[in-house]
Chain A
Amino acid sequence: MTQVLPAQENREVVLKIRGLKKVFNPGKKGEVRAIDNISFDIYKGETLGLVGESGSGKSTTGRSIIKLESITSGEVTYKGQDISKLNNKQEVLKFRKSMQMIFQDPFASLNPRIPVKTIIGDALRLHKICSTDAEVTQRVNELLDIVGINRSYANRYPTEFSGGQCQRIGIARALCVQPDFIIADECLSALDVSIQAQIVNLLIKLRKERAITYLFIAHDLSMVKYISDRIAVMKDGKILELADADELYNRPLHPYTISLLSASPLTDLHKEKQRKRIDYDTSTHKYPEGTVAGMYEILPGHWVYCSAAEVLKYQQQALSASDMGN
Chain B
Amino acid sequence: MKETILSVKDLTISFQTLDGKVCAVQGVTFDLKKGETLAIVGESGSGKSVSVKAINRVLPQGNTLYEKGEILYNGCNLLELPEKEMQKIRGKKIAMIFQDPMTSLNPTMTVGKQIAESIVKHQKLSETEAMKEAVNLIDLVGIRNPEESSKNYPHQFSGGMRQRVMIALSLACKPEILIADEPTTALDVTIQAQILDLIDELKEKLNMSVIFITHDLGVVAHVADRVAVMYAGRIIEVGTAEEVFYYPQHPYTWGLICSMPSLDTEDENLYSIPGAPPNLLNMPKGDAFAQRNAYALQIDFEEKPPFFKVSDSHYAATWLLHPDAPKVIPPEEILRRYKTFKSFNKKEKEVDVYDASIACAGE
Contacts and interface: CB of A to CB of B under 8 A. Distances in A.
B218 A194 contact: no
B256 A204 contact: no
Contacts of A192: 43-44, 215, 277
A271 to B, nearest CB: 8
Interface in B160-195: 188-194
A102 to B, nearest CB: 18
What size tier do the contact residues of chain A reach? 35 or more
B263 interface: yes
Interface string B267-278: 001111110110
Interface in B36-80: 43-44
Contacts of A249: 263
Contacts of B246: 269
Given A192-B43, A192-B215, A265-B221, A222 B269 contact: no
Interface in A179-196: 192-196
Interface string A194-213: 11111011001000000000
B276 A165 contact: yes
A269 B222 CA distance: 7
A53 B215 CA distance: 20
A173 interface: no
Interface string B194-230: 1011000000000000000001111101100000000
A4 interface: no
B221 A269 contact: yes
Interface in A219-275: 219-223, 225-226, 249, 259-270, 272-273, 275
Interface residues of B, number: 41
B270 A266 contact: no
Contacts of B340: 270
B340 to A, nearest CB: 8
B156 interface: no
A226 B261 contact: yes
A280 B193 CA distance: 13
B53 to A, nearest CB: 19
A162 interface: yes
Contacts of B197: 277
B259 A197 contact: yes
Contact of B257 (A162, A201, A267): A267
A54 B159 contact: yes
B216 A53 contact: no
B255 interface: yes
B245 A263 contact: no
A164 interface: yes
A269 B218 CA distance: 8
B221 A266 contact: yes
B351 interface: no
A164 B276 contact: yes
A225 B269 contact: no
Contact of A260 (B190, B269, B272, B276): B190
A146 to B, nearest CB: 16
A193 B259 contact: yes
Nearest to A165: B276
A237 B256 CA distance: 34
A223 B192 CA distance: 17
A31 B256 CA distance: 43
Contact of B215 (A162, A163, A193, A221): A193
Contacts of B261: 222-223, 225-226
Contacts of B259: 193-194, 196-197
A268 B340 CA distance: 11
A222 B266 CA distance: 11
A204 B265 CA distance: 15
A141 to B, nearest CB: 21
A321 to B, nearest CB: 16
Contact of B193 (A165, A194, A270, A277): A277
B188 A272 contact: no
Contact of B189 (A197, A260, A273): A260
Given A194-B273, A226-B265, A263 B260 contact: no
B269 A201 contact: yes
A182 B222 CA distance: 35
Nearest to B260: A267
A33 to B, nearest CB: 17
A-B pairs, 9 with minimum CB distance:
A265-B218, A197-B272, A197-B259, A272-B221, A53-B188, A263-B193, A194-B273, A192-B43, A226-B261
Given A269-B242, A273-B221, 9 more contacts: A54-B159, A162-B277, A193-B259, A193-B260, A197-B273, A204-B269, A223-B261, A264-B218, A267-B257
Interface of A: 53-54, 162-165, 192-198, 200-201, 204, 219-223, 225-226, 249, 259-270, 272-273, 275, 277, 280
18 contacts: A165-B276, A193-B216, A197-B260, A219-B189, A221-B263, A222-B218, A226-B270, A260-B190, A264-B218, A265-B193, A266-B221, A266-B262, A267-B245, A269-B246, A270-B340, A272-B218, A272-B222, A280-B190
